[in-house]
Amino acid sequence: MIHLDERWVTISWEADIQAVLVEWKGFAASKELRSALDAAIDLAHRKKATRCLGDCRRAGPTSQDDQRWANESWYPRMAAHGVRRIAYVLPRSAVARMSLTRVLARFDGHELVQAQFDDIDEARAWLISAA
């Protein structure tokens, strides 16, 4: 079920793994990135999701302000809506990979467990391993 489909992202519900899927298609400006991540929260809330899969293989880099926003605003709100596990498939672009790993390095829990993968099937398996 597709919740949001824009040129930079698709947010959908993956029934087979009971997770919100955030599939990045390319670079997203700050407003676009934040709007997409807020849509992921909305879908998590609607579906009472405990899992999220971030397919970041085609994602672009993010600004330091957006990285800080993710840690200070987005993660706590995802946790408040019941999400407990987030799996990331890392970007192919070296610059985008550095941006994401910088966010994840500052990750302070918020009752969430996160893991990074290069393979989407491994990410999916990790998400469902703790049913």
Domain range 2-129, its CATH number among 2.70.98.10, 3.40.50.10330, 3.30.750.24, 3.40.50.740: 3.30.750.24
- Cα gap 57→128, rounded to integer Å: 20
Q: Which residues are 10's β-sheet partners?
A: 5, 23
Given a contact cutoff of 8 angstroms between Cβ atoms, the answer to whether 24 and 34 are in contact is no
Q: List, for residues 77-131, the tens digit of each pLDDT value.
A: 999 999 999 999 999 988 888 888 887 777 676 688 999 999 999 999 999 997 5
Res 131: pLDDT: 59
pTM of the model: 0.93
Domain ranges of the chain: 2-129
Collect all residues with Cβ–Cβ distance below 8 Å to 106 and sequence separation of at least 6: 67, 71
- Cα gap 79→85, rounded to integer Å: 9
Mean pLDDT of the chain, nearest integer: 93
Res 111: pLDDT: 80
Q: What angle do CA 102, 13, 74 make, to 5 degrees?
A: 35
